[in-house]
Structure formats: structure tokens, C-alpha cells
Structure 1
Amino acid sequence: MSTVGRPPGRGTDEPVGDLVSRASQQISALVREEMRLARAEMTQKGKRFGMGGGLFGGAGLIGFLAAQASAAAVIAALALLLPVWASALITAALLAAVAAAMAAAGRRQVAEAGTPAPQQAIDSVKADVTEIKEATHR
């Protein structure tokens, strides 16, 4: 018999139980190592997602402050032609109109979306249940 392809020191007379035991240990070790690798990868990705989320939040805050500064600039520009109270009132009315239009568009989008339940999946499951019931009664 040839020993080519077999690990050195391993005979063909090794009990199957020992082979299964060794394979089980190796698979367990492999799974543990893969879990360690996955945990390390997820930790690294979690840190990056956290940093990215923080930067997006900071950008949102700065954007909000920029919008406020723009509104103040519009009020100041109108104040050159009108009293300050009138320019502030006009700017507020314009901003309120934009907000109302956005709210109406958002409400329309939500209404078109329908209920948040996965209606197609529910209907499909109901149809499956009905078909199974009919098949068992035949």
C-alpha cells in the first residue's frame, strides 16, 4: 500500500472514532476562529459607522445653522427696503409656505405607501394556508 497523500505517522489502522473526534475538534476550532475574525471585523465596521453617523449628525447641525443664517440674511436684506418687523414677517411667511408644501407632499407620499404591514406577503400566506386546508380536506 502506498502512503502518498497521507500525513506522516498516520497509519490506515487509526480508529474511525479518533478521526471523527479530531475532525470535530478541528471544525470547532475553525468555527471559533471564524467567529473571532467576524467579531473583529464587525467591531472595526461599527467604529467606522459610529464615526460616520457622528459626522452626518454634525453636518446636519451645521446645515441647520446655515439655514438660520440665510434666513437672517434675507431678513436683513429686506430690512433695507422695509421695517425690520415687516421683513421678518415676510420671511417667516415664506418659510411657513415652504414647510406647508413639504408637509402636504410628505403626507401624500405616506398615503400612497399604504399600511406599513407587508400586505402582499400576508395575502400570499393566507392563500397558502387556504390551499393547504383545501388539500387536506380532499
Structure 2
Amino acid sequence: MKKRMVTLILALLLALSLTGCGSRDTAKDSENAGIGTQSTDDASTLPDTAQDRPVTDAPMMVMVDNTLYQSAGEVSTVEGRCGNMDGEITSQTASGTDAPTENDQSNFGTGYGYQRMGDTLEVLIDGQWIVFRPITDSDV
């Protein structure tokens, strides 16, 4: 009888742990439709995990190592990344429409960690890794 109870408890714990992994946040899915830019249309419904995130229609930009990067709204597909950040966004432009002019500065908020991935920069925003590509002279 004891063995059966232990087996039942372990099976219940396993089932509970698996349901936590499979949950899906549909509110978060609707947020992702606008990744890459910030719109004033749905500003009141978006949770803000970073400090002082301005709400604008400008593309999200960040400067790291004197290179300006811009997001096109692409979510990274990289799996199994290391947990160490290469840096963190520590300052923000005065206006959400201005391009960053200092290293570790963005136009969308502070407190976000980032990792370098070859030629791109990936920034962890609201639990998702967003890909930022360097802005070249041909982009301007």
C-alpha cells in the first residue's frame, strides 16, 4: 500500500511539473505582433518590465561598442545559449525617437541584458531574445 501511494504522489508531481512547462501566454503572443517598434496604439495594455520605456513609433535601437544596432522585430531562434550576458543597457536617449549616441544606450528602456551573436546583437526583452542588426551606411 505504501509503495502504491509513493508511486501515485510521484506521478502527480510529474504531471504538475509538465503542465507548468506547457503553458502558453496568449496575451504575450498578441504583444509580439509589434516587436521591433513601439506603438502608441496599445501602450496601456503592454506590461513594462524595464525602467522608463518610452512609447513611440520609432524603431528600437541600441549602441554597443560604438556600433548602432536596429531591430526589425525578429525573434531569435537560437536555442541552448549560455546564461551569461555580454552587457546590459544602462542608459536611454532623452526621446524615444532619437538614435542612441553612447555605448550601452537604447531608445526603448534600460535594464535589458544582451548577448553578441556573430554580427548581430540579441537583447532579452520581456522574456524573448530580439535580434538587432548593425545599421550600415546603406540603411540610412
Larger strand percent: 2
Using structure 1 for the length normalisation, give the TM-score. 0.29
Larger helix percent: 1
Q: Bigger relative contact order, structure 1 or 2, given CA contacts below 8 A and separation 6+? A: 2
Please tell me whether Structure 1 or Structure 2 has the larger radius of gyration of its CA atoms.
1
